[in-house]
Chain A
Amino acid sequence: MVSVDITCDLMDEDESGYVWTFLREARDPSLIEPGAIVVAGDEDAPAVAEVVEIVDKPAGKVVHLRLLPGVIEDYQALVRRAITPA
């Protein structure tokens, strides 16, 4: 099972063109800062994303996320290759 860093609907985009969600949806808000690479979405559809910015909106702090290509298993395979001795 995948634990996401920040829950969101991967289809929720706003005027920024990025995926948005509330900062309060983060498992650990201290992880969420611009430039951070996080797992976003939910357990059924996790995705690797970059935190672009955190903006103040009328309803609260909103996180903008840039979804990175591929699926999370691609990144898992990448890390496994990178740390496995040749």
Chain B
Amino acid sequence: MAADAERQELRPNLRDEAAPDDGIVVVRGGPTSPEKILAHAQRTHDAFVLNGNPLWGISVFCALDDIGPASLDALLHRFASYRVVHLPRVGQLRKAGFDLLPTFKRPHFTVSLPSPDEVPRLLGALGSAEPNPYHGRRPGRR
């Protein structure tokens, strides 16, 4: 595990964009589990710091637009490898106490956890997994 000084500072990669609470769907590949969320949050923790402080977090994509690459349909298609997806609303995650950092390229966000102990609560906030309509629906497969 890297020391804080050996991790990349995330601050320069934050966009000036907040995900609105209302109606915006968050796409998170599933199925997930406490172990998997912890492993992914650990990877973020090992790679990045935010303002010099340790960061625990997992990647999500927000369906910010009705059409185009940041639409829900495009995101589900893009992540066709996931047979199921978790589709909470931004407001649900915030209400549960999780912040969404607008990291890297739109519409990527990082859901930050105050500590790894919060993994079970994040799992609950993600809600149940739903089938991804694009998984297994491919032209030309026989």
Contact = CB atoms under 8 A, between A and B. Distances in A.
Interface residues of B, number: 34
Nearest to A59: B2
A77 B19 CA distance: 39
A71 B136 contact: yes
B119 to A, nearest CB: 14
A34 B80 CA distance: 24
Contacts of A12: 40, 43-44, 59
Interface residues of A, number: 31
B13 interface: yes
B59 A62 contact: no
A6 to B, nearest CB: 12
Given A11-B60, A14-B104, A70 B138 contact: yes
Interface in B10-63: 13, 28-31, 36, 40, 43-44, 46-47, 58-61
Interface of A: 9-15, 17, 20-22, 41-42, 44-47, 57-60, 62, 67, 69-74, 77, 81
Interface of B: 2, 5-8, 13, 28-31, 36, 40, 43-44, 46-47, 58-61, 79-83, 104-105, 108, 135-136, 138, 140-142
20 contacts: A9-B43, A9-B58, A9-B59, A11-B28, A11-B108, A13-B104, A22-B43, A22-B46, A44-B36, A45-B81, A57-B8, A58-B7, A59-B8, A59-B46, A60-B46, A62-B47, A67-B81, A73-B136, A74-B138, A81-B142
